[in-house]
Every structure is written in C-alpha cells, then in structure tokens.
A and B are shown apart, each in its own frame.
Chain A
Amino acid sequence: KNEVEQSPQNLTAQEGEFITINCSYSVGISALHWLQQHPGGGIVSLFMLSSGKKKHGRLIATINIQEKHSSLHITASHPRDSAVYICAVRDPNTGNQFYFGTGTSLTVIP
C-alpha cells in the first residue's frame, strides 16, 4: 500500500517546456512537501504547503485538500531543473509520520 503516489515516474522535456508533476495521497495530512534531489544526491526542500498555492521563481506548487492531490509546475524549464522531485506528506493521525513518494526523475534537454 503506497500512501503517496507520484506521476510520471520519469519525464523528459525540451528546454522551455511547461512541466507538471503530480502527487496523490491517501492519508489525512497536516502538510505536503515537495523536495528536489539533484544528481549529486543533495536534497533541497522546495515547498511546504497545506492549502492553496505557492510560487517561487519558475516553480509553482498547488494542493487540493478535498481531492488529496498536489501538483508541481515548472515554467520555462531549463536543463538545470533536471533532478528527482519527491512528494512527501505528514499524517497527523500517525503522529505526524512522513510518507514519501518514489520520486519523479526529470531530464530537461537543451
């Protein structure tokens, strides 16, 4: 049973394309995190959100609590956006336990 499902698993895009990565979850959540892991292995937290929408530069994250769904959008994609994007949720019903998606591997081609 996967509490968090991401799609697609792999994504290849041309530079400049608009990209969407989806995350669906089955548990009640107190917050959802989007993480970025670069090929070197380091992990960066992009967003933490519990409702609505957040924007940071070319990145936009949205969440629909009723539908238990979140999307991460990248506008005007660039090769440096190539990374694995991981969705994670915290479930208040299990002591704020973290559940992670398996990640979406994004490759942006120049």
Chain B
Amino acid sequence: DAGVIQSPRHEVTEMGQEVTLRCKPISGHNSLFWYRQTMMRGLELLIYFNNNVPIDDSGMPEDRFSAKMPNASFSTLKIQPSEPRDSAVYFCASSPGHNNEKLFFGSGTQLSVL
C-alpha cells in the first residue's frame, strides 16, 4: 500500500487566494483526520471524518476553512480566502476504524501564504 497520499507537497500562494489541499487515505481505512502544525501551536486537529461523514469539526479555525470527503478514497481541505496566518504544515491521517486505532500520516503539505 502506498500509504496516505497528500498533494501538493508544497504550496505558495498570495493572500486572498483559494487553496485546496488533497488527501487520499489508505484503502479500507474508515477514519480520516486533518491536522495543522505550526511552531506556535504545535499539532492541532482540525476535523475528522468517519465513513465519509464529518464527526467533529470543532477544530476548524473559522468559516474560511472547509473540508469535504465525497467518497472513501478522497478528501479536500479548502481555505478561501487564505491569509498569511494560515501558513503551516497540514497533515492528513487515516486509521482503520473509528475508535482508538493507530494513525497513519501523510507527508504533509507545507503551505505558505504571502
């Protein structure tokens, strides 16, 4: 298995632009997580899905952020409009089940908003 695949690896954009991050979880995994990592705040859970349904999005910072999971093999995290403070590494992770199973992380997307 190729593991969790994220794209792009790096994204540089200007303030105000729309940014879309993509994630393909491991085949057969039922849970998908989006995390953000910054120097100031460390790792933070943004949202997670179980069987393509958003379970908890309380970590999403504001309305500029949205996430979708249209099917079991694909998820997107969108920021519109982007701001410099959104600059961070965004990780996607998947796990086999809903409760307390090991997490498998993607390589992350390094986002820089100028």
A96 within 8 A of partner (CB): yes
A44 within 8 A of partner (CB): yes
Q: A11-19, A20-28, A71-79, A98-106: which lies at the B interface?
A: A98-106
Q: Is the interface of B mostly helix, strand, loop or mixed?
A: strand
In the assembled complex, the Cα of A52 lies from the Cα of B56 at a distance in Å of 29
The contact size tier of chain B is: 20 to 34
In contact, A44 and B105 (Cβ under 8 angstroms) = yes
Number of residues of chain A lying within 8 A (CB) of chain B:
22
Chain B residues with Cβ below 8 Å from A103 are 42
Chain A residues with Cβ below 8 Å from B59 are 97
Q: Do A42 and B56 contact each other (CB < 8 Å), given the known contacts A33-B103, A90-B100?
A: no
Chain A residues with Cβ below 8 Å from B58 are 95, 97
In contact, A96 and B56 (Cβ under 8 angstroms) = yes
In the assembled complex, the Cα of A63 lies from the Cα of B101 at a distance in Å of 16
In contact, B56 and A45 (Cβ under 8 angstroms) = no
Give per-residue flags for B80-114: 1 if the beta carbon is below 8 A from chain A beta carbons, else 0: 00000000010101000001111111011010000
Chain A residues with Cβ below 8 Å from B43 are 86, 88, 100
Q: Which 3 A-B pairs have the closest CB atoms?
A: A31-B100, A43-B105, A98-B45
Chain B residues close to A by CB (< 8 Å): 33, 42-45, 55-56, 58-59, 89, 91, 93, 99-105, 107-108, 110
